[in-house]
């Protein structure tokens, strides 16, 4: 006995607060008369399973309430370069063997490739581009690699003998160079674009192979023999001549051909997905093309002269003559937010593309910023699943809560009047309740949604789902309330209230109902979980809240095919887990409340 007392005394104050302290009470304190509410709270706190569910639900609730302010969602966002990316934060995890020994880095959508000073190749990030293709499967015996270029879904390697090697997707023949390219010995630059590959020779000639439908390129362009460097957008090829002139190497007249006036002699060029940037010998930056609202067309005004520029997906990074690095443009992945640690550091080389940036300082240290990856991966439109889970959770919980409030109010009113008044009123209300309860809920909701759902906006559809859930879920609660009131209405205090002339409505809602409120709370708690599951079921079947507005249910609906289930497990596993955990926690709370309210279930 003394050991048990010592163990009770050693209980953590936090555990006492969360899981109760009944074991520490003396026999006299246990016998003290407590209010019913305090007794229920005490009994509930002593139920460790129920308290675990309560704590778990509170954590989930806080995440879905506070999370959207930290991870806001843009329902119109999509990014083709980030489709179905697996979970992980390893996109910029440069291998240790390469750090301090970097000759070049080239960046793809979700992977990067680097070569060391001795010609060894390293690839990191999300290298699998399909269930059958992995860009990390590079050819053997390539020799010493001197140049590398990462494209959308393939990589080009150039060895010291001028021979080309490829890895990745070859569907558009971007990894199958023509005969004249295979025999080149004077390659100066290789460029892997979107389903295309380009080679520039020392004598200024350009060779293009791969997708010729998506990319506007004219192999008979008048600038052959004059090109010093080429860059690519998502659908065009731009060149810099040896004389410092920017030229377009396609056939069409478009936004890329509308060159700014008075650019002077250009020393470097770069591109994003839809814009072109050029730096002249005075350090001035010019940006043109299909400039979006993402900010890539607004270079900063600097006192120092910019000497080189590189573009990512929707941002630019540039280097000044004093070794300062600057970035501007889209910043949704912090790709244009240069780390503060680089403020007083001199940069000697840098690499930018898509959403990643690498910079090497004068001491050989590597600095990175931008997209590291996704904790829970991305979906079929390149959207972050973590942010959709958080924002979708808020919608799922909100719909369940409002539906329960509606059904609880109706159930209390109908059950109270039916049980207290009785007679014909009771008969009529019970027949109505049976009619509502007999409706097949899911088929009814699906038919109603298909009939009028297309005529509603997203917010109106959400409101309709909440109302339907509430209006069809009250019969069970009203029966429970009616049964409780039937057993209470004949008690002495009710008779006394009638004898002094108190109105029936006051007797029902002020005297009788407070004595059954604990049962109502338990029922409403369990109905909350049921409403969430029902909303998820409707959304999963395609009749609930429609994308792009996320809920846990329609996220599962988006993963409802065998290809996703087999190859992209993260698109359904995390939504299933969070929905299941939330519903289990709510059910544990309901069971705990029921046990706490029923004194017969408590063993002394």
- Sheet strands (E) in 205-249: 206-210, 227-232, 237-241, 246-248
- Alpha helix segments (H runs only) across 422-516: 423-438, 441-452, 458-471, 475-488, 492-499, 504-506
Least confident of 2-11, 124-133, 397-406, 539-548: 2-11
Q: State how beta strands 266-271 and 275-280 pair.
A: antiparallel
Same domain as 421, residue 340: no
For residue 68, is pLDDT > 50? yes
pLDDT score recorded for residue 448: 72
Report the number of distinct structural domains present in the chain.
3
Positive/negative CA dihedral, 376, 380, 382, 383: negative
What is the pTM for the complete model shown? 0.83
Q: What is the strand order of the sheet 154-159 is part of?
A: 145-150, 154-159, 164-168
What letters, b where the CB count within 10 A reaches 16 and e where it falls short, cover 370-404? Answer: bbbbbebbbbeebbbbbbbbbbbbbbbbbbbbbbb
Residue 280: give the domain boundaries. Answer: 254-373
Answer whether the bond into residue 556 is a cis peptide, omega within 30°: no
**Mean pLDDT across 47-66:** 92
Judgement on whether residues 437 and 511 belong to the same structural domain of the protein: yes
Q: Do residues 272 and 329 lie in contact, with contact meaning Cβ atoms separated by under 8 Å?
A: yes
Choose one of 373, 397, 419: the last residue of a domain: 373
Domain termination residue (choose one: 347, 373, 399): 373
* Residue at 236 is within a domain: no
Q: Are residues 488 and 507 in the same domain?
A: yes
Residues 64 and 129 in one domain: no
pLDDT at residue 545, rounded to an integer = 81
Q: Is residue 352 domain-shared with residue 277, that is, in the same domain?
A: yes
Regarding whether 315 and 166 lie in a shared domain, the answer is: no
The answer to whether residues 258 and 348 belong to one domain is yes
362 lies in the same domain as 447: no
The structure tokens listed for 240 are 């810099």
* Helix, strand, coil % in the chain, rounded to nearest 5: 40, 20, 35
Burial class (CB in 10 A: 0-12, 13-18, 19+), 314: buried
What are the pLDDT digits (tens) for 239-268?
Answer: 999 999 999 999 989 999 999 999 999 999
Note whether residue 491 is domain-resident.
yes
Instruction: Band the pLDDT of 314: cuts 50, 70, 90.
Output: very high
Q: How far apart are CA 37 and CA 519, in angstroms?
A: 13
Look at the alpha carbons of 305, 309, 312, 317 in this order and tell me if their dihedral is positive or negative: negative
CATH number of the domain encompassing residue 362: 2.130.10.30
Q: Answer yes or no: is pLDDT of 13 > 90.
A: no
Residue 245, domain member (yes or no)? no
- Residue at which a domain ends, from 306, 338, 373: 373
Q: How far is the C-alpha of 103 from the C-alpha of 48, rounded, in Å?
A: 59
As a whole number, mean pLDDT of residues 372-391 equals: 94
Asked whether residue 355 falls in the same domain as residue 392, the answer is no
In the predicted structure, residue 388 carries a pLDDT above the cut 60 = yes
- Do residues 424 and 347 both lie within one domain? no
Tell whether 368 and 469 lie within a shared domain: no
Tokens of 158: 């150039």
Q: Are 161 and 151 in contact (CB under 8 A)?
A: no
484 and 581 belong to one structural domain: yes
Count Cβ atoms below 10 Å from residue 14 Cβ, excluding itself: 8
H/E element, 102: strand 102-107
């Amino acid at each position: 006995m003394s050991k048990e007392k010592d163990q009770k005394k050693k209980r953590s104050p936090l555990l006492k607060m969360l899981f109760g302290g009944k074991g520490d009470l003396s026999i006299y304190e246990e016998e003290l008369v407590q209010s019913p509410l305090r007794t229920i709270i005490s009994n509930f706190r002593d139920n460790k399973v129920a308290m675990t569910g309560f704590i778990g639900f509170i954590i989930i609730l806080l995440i879905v309430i506070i999370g959207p302010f930290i991870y806001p969602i843009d329902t119109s966002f999509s990014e083709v370069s980030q489709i179905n990316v697996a979970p992980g934060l390893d996109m910029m995890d440069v291998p240790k063997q390469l750090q301090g020994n970097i000759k070049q880095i080239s960046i793809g959508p979700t992977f990067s490739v680097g070569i060391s000073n001795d010609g060894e190749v390293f690839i990191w990030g999300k290298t699998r581009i399909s269930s059958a293709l992995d860009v990390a499967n590079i050819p053997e015996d390539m020799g010493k690699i001197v140049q590398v270029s990462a494209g959308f879904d393939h990589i080009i390697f150039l060895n010291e003998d001028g021979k080309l090697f490829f890895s990745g997707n070859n569907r558009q023949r971007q990894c199958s160079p023509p005969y004249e390219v295979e025999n080149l010995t004077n390659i100066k630059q290789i460029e892997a674009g979107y389903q295309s590959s380009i080679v520039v020779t020392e004598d200024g000639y350009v060779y293009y192979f791969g997708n010729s439908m998506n990319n506007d390129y004219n192999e008979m362009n008048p600038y052959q023999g004059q090109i010093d460097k080429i860059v690519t957008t998502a659908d065009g090829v731009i060149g810099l001549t040896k004389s410092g002139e920017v030229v377009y190497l396609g056939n069409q007249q478009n936004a890329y051909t509308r060159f700014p006036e008075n650019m002077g002699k250009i020393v470097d060029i770069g591109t994003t997905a839809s814009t072109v940037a050029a730096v002249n010998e005075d350090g001035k930056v010019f940006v043109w093309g299909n400039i979006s609202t993402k900010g890539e067309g607004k270079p900063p005004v600097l006192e120092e002269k910019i000497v080189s520029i590189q573009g990512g997906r929707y941002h630019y990074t540039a280097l000044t003559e004093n070794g300062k690095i600057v970035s501007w443009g889209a910043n949704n992945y912090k790709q244009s937010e240069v780390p503060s640690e680089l403020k007083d550091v001199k940069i000697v080389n840098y690499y930018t593309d898509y959403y990643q940036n690498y910079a090497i300082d004068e001491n050989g240290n590597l600095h990175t910023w931008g997209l590291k990856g996704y904790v829970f991966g991305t979906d079929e439109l390149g959207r972050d699943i973590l942010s959709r889970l958080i924002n979708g959770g808020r919608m799922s919980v909100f719909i369940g809560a409002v539906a329960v409030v509606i059904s609880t109010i109706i159930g209390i009113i109908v059950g109270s009047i039916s049980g207290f008044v009785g007679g014909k009123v009771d008969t009529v209300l019970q027949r109505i309740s049976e009619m509502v309860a007999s409706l097949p809920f899911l088929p009814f909701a699906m038919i109603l949604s298909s009939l009028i759902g297309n005529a509603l906006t997203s917010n109106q559809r959400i409101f309709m789902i909440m109302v339907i859930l509430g209006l069809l879920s009250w019969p069970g609660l009203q029966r429970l309330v009616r049964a409780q009131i039937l057993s209470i209405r004949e008690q002495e205090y009710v008779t006394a209230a009638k004898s002094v002339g108190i109105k029936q409505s006051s007797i029902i809602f002020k005297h009788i109902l407070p004595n059954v409120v604990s049962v109502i709370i338990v029922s409403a708690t369990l109905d909350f979980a049921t409403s969430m599951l029902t909303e998820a079921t409707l959304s999963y079947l395609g009749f609930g809240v429609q994308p792009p507005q996320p809920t846990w249910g329609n996220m599962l609906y988006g993963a409802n095919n065998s290809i996703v289930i087999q190859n992209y497990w993260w698109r359904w596993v995390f939504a299933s887990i969070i929905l299941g955990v939330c519903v289990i926690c709510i059910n544990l709370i309901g069971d705990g409340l029921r046990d706490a309210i029923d004194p017969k279930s408590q063993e002394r």
